[in-house]
Structure 1
Amino acid sequence: MKHFFYKGNQNIITQEQDFDKIRETIKKDLSKILDTRNLSFLIGSGCSLGVNGIPTMKQLADNLFEPKDDIHPDLKDKVFETEHIEILEKFKINYKNEPFRTNLETFLGTLYSFRFYLEKLQEAKESAFDQDLEDLNKIIKRTKEYILYECLNEKNKGEDGDIVETYQQFYRKLSLRDSNLQKPNVFTTNYDLFSERAMDNLGISYTNGFSGFVERFFNPSIFNYALAEQMDISSLKWSIIDSFIYLFKIHGSVNWVEKESNNKLFSIQEIQDVNFDRLKTEANYMIYPSPLKQNASLGSPYADLFREFQKRITQKQSTLVTMGFSFGDEHINNIIYQALTIPSFRLVIFSDMGYYVGGKYEPARKNIEKLKNLNDPRIWIIGSDTEVDNDTDRNVIIEDGHKGLHFFDTIANDLFPDYTQDKIEEANKNLIELLRTKGEGND
C-alpha cells in the first residue's frame, strides 16, 4: 500500500516513513483540527464493510442481478430469479449497465418513476396497465426486501462483533471530547444500525430525530434539544452532559416505517423490534431516495435531515470529516461544496484515491481528485492506495504489514485522538498539583 496525507495537493508524508511515524503525524494534526468548535462527521458505506459487514451498493447489485452459485442460503429466495429478469427485459430495463449496475438506489428510483408514469397513463387514458403495474411492483418488492435483509445483516448477527467494536471505539472517543465545545454531529448515508448498537452498548445518549418512548415518531425539532444535568439542586444551573451525540441518517434507516397517527405531524415511526419478518410486512419499511416523493411524510424526513446537514456544516469554524464516503452522491457533494465557500470551513477526507495496477496508477475517485487539485490547504485527504498485479485483482487488498489509513478500524483505533487518555492525564496532573499544594501548606 502507498500511504498519503494531502494538505491541498501536497503529500506531507513519504513512503520511507514507517507506519508508526505516519500514524503519529496524522494523529497529532487531527487532535488539533478535531477541537474545532463545530465538528461533524459523514459516515459512508465503507465504514460498515468487513467480512461480516454490510456489502457496498455495487456488491449488493452484483448479488441481486446475477447471484453466484455459492450465495448465502438465506439470500436464495430474496435475489432475482428468472421471472424477475424476464420482467426487466420486457420493460427494456438493462440492469447490467450503468447507472443501475453499481447503484441500487438509482435502480429503485427508476422503478418508482416508471410506476408513477404507468399510473398516470392509466388514469388519463383509462388504459389497462394492471399487469404491467403488478409486474413492476413485484420487482420493487423483491429489490426492497433484498436490500432490507442485507442491511439488517441478519445472516451475520453474532459474527459482526469486530465491526460493532470499531463503531464503539469511534463513539467512545468522540463522546469524550472537550465538554466546552459543541456536541458533535454524525451524519450517515447508511441504512444499518451499527451506530445505534454501538452507542447503546456504551450507554451514550444520542438523538436521531425521533421523540417518544412507547411509540417513537419523527420530530425534527428534537435536533434543537440537548440532554442536560442539573448542577446544583438549589439553583437553576444546568450543563449538557458530556456523552451526547447528534445522529442524522440522511438516507433513512432499516427500522423506519410509515404509520399514520392522528396526533403526529409526521407519519414516520422508528421500530424497536427490528427483524426481517416483522419489517417486511410494513407498508414502507425503508425510505429510499427517489426522484418522486411518495407522499408528504416520505418527502419530509429528507428535507429536514438535509437542511440540518447544510445548517450544521456551514456554521463558522466548522470541520467535516468524511469516512467511507466516495463522494458519489451529488446532492451531498453540492452541500459540501457550498460549505467550502466559507473561509473558516475545513474538510478532512479519509479515502483511497485509486489503484496501482502493475505499477501504473489508475485513479478511481474522480470527485476526490478534483478536490485535491483545488490545492486548498483547508482540504486534507488521508488514505492508502492498493497495489495489485493486474486489473482483475484490483478489488483485492494486498497486505504488506500495514493497514490502510482510510480503513475505519485504523481511524478509530490508531488515528483518532484518545480523549479518554487526555482526561486521565489531566486528572492526574490536577491531583498531583493538589497534593503538592497541600504539602506546601503543611510546611
Structure 2
Amino acid sequence: MEVIEFSDPEILAKLLERHIQSAHINFLFGSGASMPAIQLAGTVEREIDTLLARSDNDGANIKALEFIEELERQHAALSHAPLSTPVETTRNNYAGLLKSIDRILFERKNILLPRQANMFTTNYDEFFETAASSLPTLLLNDGFNRRVGSSEFEFEPELYFDRLYRSGTVYQHQSEVPTINLIKMHGSISWKRQTDRKVVFGTPETVPLTPIERLNANRVRQALSNRAVILPNMRKFESTLLDRVYFDLLRLYSNALEVENALLFVFGFSFADEHILDITKRGLRNPTAKIVIFAYSAGGSIDFEAKFSAHRNVLIIKPEVGSHLGFTELNSIFDLIGRNTETIYD
C-alpha cells in the first residue's frame, strides 16, 4: 500500500496516466460523491440499523422511505435548479468527470483494450444520468434494453458486455464507440419492480406520502415495495428479484477486478459495505490489479490505510492537513489526464 498527498494535480495526473493507458478502467462511487446535494447514506444506514436493533421495523421503514423520497425530491429539482444551488453543483461535478472519461476513451488507440469504462455506484440518485444527458457525444449504458416497439425497458445486465462499433462508408474501417457502463449496485429511484418478475425503467416518484399516510405501516411498506431499490440497512433484500439482481451486479464488480490490468478508482465510498469490501479485497489478489482511493479527509485516509494495509497494489491519495479532497480536486486530475491524452495521440 502506498499513500501520497494531494498537492499538485499535474503530478498526480502524470502518475495516474501511466496506469490508465494500459488498463481496464473502473470507478466505484459512494454517497460522498453526491455531496453537497445528498445526505451521506452511511448516516441513514446507521440510523436504520439502530431502529432495527430495537425491533422497530416500522420506524426503520419510515426512515428508509424518507431517505428515498428526499432523493426523489432532489431529482425533481434538477430541471430548474439555479446555478448556485448544491443540486446544480453536484450535477456539474458529475458532468465534468464524465466529459473527461469520455475524452480519455475516445483517444484510446490500443485496440486490445475496450473503449469502455465501468461506473459502479451504490447511489440511488440520478446525477449520473442527468449529467450524461447534457453531453451529446457521451454514450451511457445503464443496462436497460431500449428495444424498438417495446412499451417498457427491461433491465438486462448482460447488456454491459456489448460493445458498439461504427464503420466508414467507403473502406468499412471499424472503430469502437466510447461507452460508459453505469452499474447501480443498489438500484435506483428510476427502477420499478413488476411484482417479482422483472425490473423496468420508470419515472421517479414525485408525490411523497402525507404525514397521515406515514402513520399507516402497511402504506409505508407498500410505498417501499414499489421502488426497486436495495435499502440501506441490514435487511438488504426485500424480494427474490432484488436478491438476484444485487448478486448479478456484485458478480460484475468482482469480475471487473479479476481481468488483467484492472484499474479501480474509488471516490466518495467508505467501504462500510462489507460485501463490497470483501469482494474488493479478493480482487486485490489479482497481481495486475490496481486500486486508487481518493480520501476526502485525513481521517478517512487513516481508515482506508487500516482496511488495506496488507495489500501492495493499493494507492491512497489523501488531502493536505486541514483540507479536503472533493469532486473539484478529482475533476482537476482527470481533466488534465484527458488533455494529456489528446496531446499524446495528436
Q: TM (normalized to structure 2)?
A: 0.80
Tell me the SS of whatever aligns to 2:207.
Answer: helix
2:121 aligns to what? 188
Is structure 2 residue 145 aligned with structure 1 residue 211?
yes
Q: Deviations over 1:358-407 (max 9, x none)?
A: xxxxx55665122553372x2110022654xxxxxxxxxxxxxxx63x31
Flag structure 1 segments of 5+ consecutive residues without an equivalent.
1-7, 62-98, 115-134, 355-362, 388-402, 428-443
Note closer, same or farther for the CA distance 1:425–1:293 as it changes in structure 2 (3 Å cut). closer
Q: CA deviation at 1:196?
A: 0.7
Tell me the SS of whatever aligns to 1:417.
Answer: helix
Q: CA deviation at 1:247?
A: 1.0
> Are 2:65 and 2:224, in contact at CA under 8 Å, matched by a contact in 1?
no
Note closer, same or farther for the CA distance 1:423–1:239 as it changes in structure 2 (3 Å cut). same
Is structure 2 residue 236 aligned with structure 1 residue 287?
no
Tell me the SS of whatever aligns to 2:227.
Answer: coil
Root-mean-square deviation (CA), in Å? 3.1
1:123 aligns to what? none
Q: Which moved more, 1:345-354 or 1:364-373?
A: 364-373
Cα distance in 1 between the residues matched to 2:29 and 2:236: 25
Q: CA deviation at 1:353?
A: 5.3
Q: Deviations over 1:299-346 (max 9, x none)?
A: 121011011000111101111110111121111011111111111111
Note closer, same or farther for the CA distance 1:416–1:338 as it changes in structure 2 (3 Å cut). farther
Note closer, same or farther for the CA distance 1:282–1:179 as it changes in structure 2 (3 Å cut). farther
Tell me the SS of whatever aligns to 2:277.
Answer: helix
Flag structure 2 segments of 5+ consecutive residues without an equivalent.
210-221
1:306 aligns to what? 250
1:57 aligns to what? 41
> Are 2:294 and 2:318, in contact at CA under 8 Å, matched by a contact in 1?
yes
Q: Deviations over 1:395-429 (max 9, x none)?
A: xxxxxxxx63x3112111345534256426744xx
1:239 aligns to what? 175
Tell me the SS of whatever aligns to 2:251.
Answer: helix
Cα distance in 2 between the residues matched to 1:36 and 1:332: 25
Cα distance in 2 between the residues matched to 1:346 and 1:424: 25
Q: CA deviation at 1:254?
A: 1.1
1:368 aligns to what? 304
Is structure 2 residue 166 aligned with structure 1 residue 222?
no
Higher relative contact order (CA 8 A, sep 6+): 2
- Give the AA of the match of 1:208: D
Cα distance in 1 between the residues matched to 2:242 and 2:311: 40
Is structure 2 residue 189 aligned with structure 1 residue 259?
no
The one of 269, 274, 280 aligned to 1:330? 274
Cα distance in 2 between the residues matched to 1:409 and 1:10: 20
Note closer, same or farther for the CA distance 1:9–1:220 as it changes in structure 2 (3 Å cut). closer
Tell me the SS of whatever aligns to 1:276.
Answer: coil
2:132 aligns to what? 199
- Give the AA of the match of 2:229: I
Over the matched positions of the two proteins, sequence identity in percent amounts to: 21
Q: CA deviation at 1:43?
A: 0.9
Cα distance in 2 between the residues matched to 1:341 and 1:277: 47
- Give the AA of the match of 2:176: I
Is structure 2 residue 269 aligned with structure 1 residue 269?
no
- Give the AA of the match of 2:9: R
Q: Deviations over 1:160-191 (max 9, x none)?
A: 22211111110001012215332111101111
> Are 1:168 and 1:199, in contact at CA under 8 Å, matched by a contact in 2?
yes
Q: Deviations over 1:46-70 (max 9, x none)?
A: 11101xx1011255x4xxxxxxxxx
For this pair of structures, how many residues does the alignment match? Answer: 315
Q: TM (normalized to structure 1)?
A: 0.63
Q: Deviations over 1:191-218 (max 9, x none)?
A: 1111111111102112122112541111
